[in-house]
Structure 1
Amino acid sequence: MKKILHIFLAIVVVLSISLASLAFYGYVQFQRFSAQTGSLTTLVEQVENSDSYVEYHDLPNTLIRATVSIEDHRFFEHDGVDYIGLVRAILSQINENLLKSGGSTITQQLAKNLYGQYDSNLSWKLAEFFFARELESHYSKSEIFALYVNVINYGNGYVGIKEASDGYFGKEPADLSDAQCTILAGIPQVPNKYELTSTENVQDAKERQKLVLDAMVEYKYLNQTQADEIYAESIWQ
């Protein structure tokens, strides 16, 4: 019994040291990215001062709900970090395919886009934890969401919801229809596949829109009848 206890304690000590080492390494990487690219507050100010910046209160409710449903349905409840994804990143040192699986929170995606870190690796994933926590501690959920839709790639060279709304539909974001909101919400997952630039891409985007609407039904933002009506609407009106 004592031998088992000693083994257990040894494992606990090793794990504790390993986690502490990873946390320290992640913080060092956090400082490195900040030094190379700029502080989080500086990058946020640059986005907010852009002529194309759209405030949260100018975003359609359907766009907000559609984006949250398909990208991060617990966005308004969590602390900004996908801990399962973080564990995958650590375990990817054993099996690299694990790093390619799973998603990130909207907060983590915002940090990734602010720092231009589009290829996941362990250094970034560990640093990303600190960036996400800093975002959540300094900005409200509405501010984080607005920043996200202002920096995300909507395909066809459109960065941010204003460029996408104007480029695809000739509209301000506030004037988007429910059909347009739900199809735009699906584009950022794979922008070059879902961008509305060809008949084939639009068909793919419509399939993605169906998934967005299904998610909105699942998370009680819409009932099935409403979802079906939105799906049947033309996105070009």
Structure 2
Amino acid sequence: MKKHKKRRIYRKLFRFVFFLFLVFFVAFFLSGGTSFFSPRTWQHVGDFLPKLEAVLPANQQRDTVQEISTVDRLSRLIFLKRAVDARIDQEHYVKLRDIPADMQNAIIAVEDNRFYSHCGFDLQGIMRATLVNLQYGEVTEGASTITQQLVKNLFLSHEQSFGRKAEELLLALDMEANYSKDEILELYLNTIYYGSNYYGIGPAAKGYFDKKPQDLQLPEAAMLAGTPNAPSLYSPYVDFMLAKKRQFIVIDAMVRSGYIDKNTAESAKIKPLYLAKPTE
């Protein structure tokens, strides 16, 4: 009898404890406890880890991008912000609020028109870019999203392989999970190569037009937005006429995307540009 009594007591106690756990987890999730599983929550854990040594972004490394171990790759995925911070040039970093809307819109229009609606990769954008390139008879728009280009600029080599492409996709999804769209755009504008050895919008605005980014006008912004597609070709210091042709393409893309009207576009195309250095 005593054994049966004890078993009943244990069962009741187990049911009671199980009920308490159930109530706790229900309350936990209803009160926003799901954020515990959010990728952004884990980024704060990275703050307690040793700070990573500053290193140049992948697109600024002259030699082949250094290979990293599988453990380091996983660490980069889990603590992405820690890895990003180690590769950002804080000295020349420009906040999005100090970058004119025309510059932001020009980049989005020509590089990734659906930037604010995709989750890091864009199948519709791939088809659109293909049609635009066929229309112009040359590669004027890329199929990679701004997010994909950002993670490539920061971390990846130019190797064309399934493994590297898979890593790019994972990092792009991770970036979208941990950063807002405006933060991603800000990082992108500060890390892309604008040609003539100018990395980031701050050095590019100064180097090409002797201006701060916030002082850029539409024609200047459109020319800068055109350079990342092929920096060694579209730099106005390399070939001004080719850079001007590319500027027209960017301005037309802004019209198609609804950022400017046709009259504003035609006015921007004929407005003279004054470079900081004379061209040959």
TM-score, normalised to structure 2's length?
0.63
Q: Which residue matches 1:229? A: 267
Q: Which residue matches 1:140? A: 180
Q: Which residue matches 2:16? A: none
Q: State how far apart, in whole Å, the 2-side matches of 1:115 and 1:155 are.
A: 19
Q: State how far apart, in whole Å, the 1-side matches of 2:75 and 2:196 are.
A: 26
Q: C-alpha displacement at 1:197, in angstroms? A: 1.1
Residue by residue over 1:141-200, the C-alpha shift from the partner in whole angstroms, topping out at 9 and shown as x without a partner, is: 0000000011100001111111101111111100111111000000000000011214xx
Match of 1:202 among 228, 240, 243: 240
Counterpart amino acid of 1:168?
Answer: Y
Q: State how far apart, in whole Å, the 2-side matches of 1:52 and 1:207 are.
A: 29
Q: C-alpha displacement at 1:234, in angstroms? A: 1.6
- Indicate if the aligned counterparts of 1:62 and 1:181 stay in contact, CA closer than 8 A: yes
Q: State how far apart, in whole Å, the 2-side matches of 1:134 and 1:210 are.
A: 34
Q: State how far apart, in whole Å, the 1-side matches of 2:218 and 2:237 are.
A: 20
Q: Which residue matches 1:63? A: 103
| Residue 197 of structure 2 is aligned to residue 157 of structure 1 | yes
Superposed, which structure 2 residues align to 1:1-237 within 5 Å?
Answer: 32=70, 34-35=72-73, 38=76, 40-48=80-88, 50-83=90-123, 103-198=143-238, 201-236=239-274
Q: State how far apart, in whole Å, the 2-side matches of 1:234 and 1:79 are.
A: 38
TM-score, normalised to structure 1's length?
0.74
Q: C-alpha displacement at 1:236, in angstroms? A: 1.1
Q: Secondary structure at the match of 1:125?
A: helix
Number of paired residues? Answer: 193
Structure 2, unmatched stretches of 5+, are 1-66, 127-140, 276-280
The 1:196–1:140 alpha-carbon spacing in structure 2 relative to 1, beyond 3 Å, is same
The 1:133–1:140 alpha-carbon spacing in structure 2 relative to 1, beyond 3 Å, is same
Q: State how far apart, in whole Å, the 2-side matches of 1:102 and 1:228 are.
A: 25
Q: C-alpha displacement at 1:36, in angstroms? A: 9.3
Q: Secondary structure at the match of 2:91?
A: coil
Q: Which residue matches 1:16? A: none
Q: Secondary structure at the match of 2:92?
A: coil
The 1:225–1:144 alpha-carbon spacing in structure 2 relative to 1, beyond 3 Å, is same
Structure 1, unmatched stretches of 5+, are 1-28, 87-100
Q: State how far apart, in whole Å, the 2-side matches of 1:146 and 1:30 are.
A: 26
- Indicate if the aligned counterparts of 2:201 and 2:213 stay in contact, CA closer than 8 A: yes
- Indicate if the aligned counterparts of 2:195 and 2:235 stay in contact, CA closer than 8 A: yes
Residue by residue over 1:61-100, the C-alpha shift from the partner in whole angstroms, topping out at 9 and shown as x without a partner, is: 00000000000000011111134799xxxxxxxxxxxxxx
Q: C-alpha displacement at 1:124, in angstroms? A: 1.2
Q: C-alpha displacement at 1:109, in angstroms? A: 0.2
- Indicate if the aligned counterparts of 1:186 and 1:205 stay in contact, CA closer than 8 A: yes
- Indicate if the aligned counterparts of 1:47 and 1:150 stay in contact, CA closer than 8 A: no
Answer 1 or 2: which has greater helix percent.
Answer: 1
Q: C-alpha displacement at 1:50, in angstroms? A: 1.1
Question: Which one has a bigger Cα radius of gyration?
Answer: 2
The 1:30–1:65 alpha-carbon spacing in structure 2 relative to 1, beyond 3 Å, is farther
Q: State how far apart, in whole Å, the 2-side matches of 1:235 and 1:56 are.
A: 24
Q: Percent identity?
A: 36
Q: C-alpha displacement at 1:128, in angstroms? A: 1.1
Q: State how far apart, in whole Å, the 2-side matches of 1:135 and 1:223 are.
A: 33
Q: Secondary structure at the match of 1:51?
A: helix
Q: C-alpha displacement at 1:49, in angstroms? A: 5.8
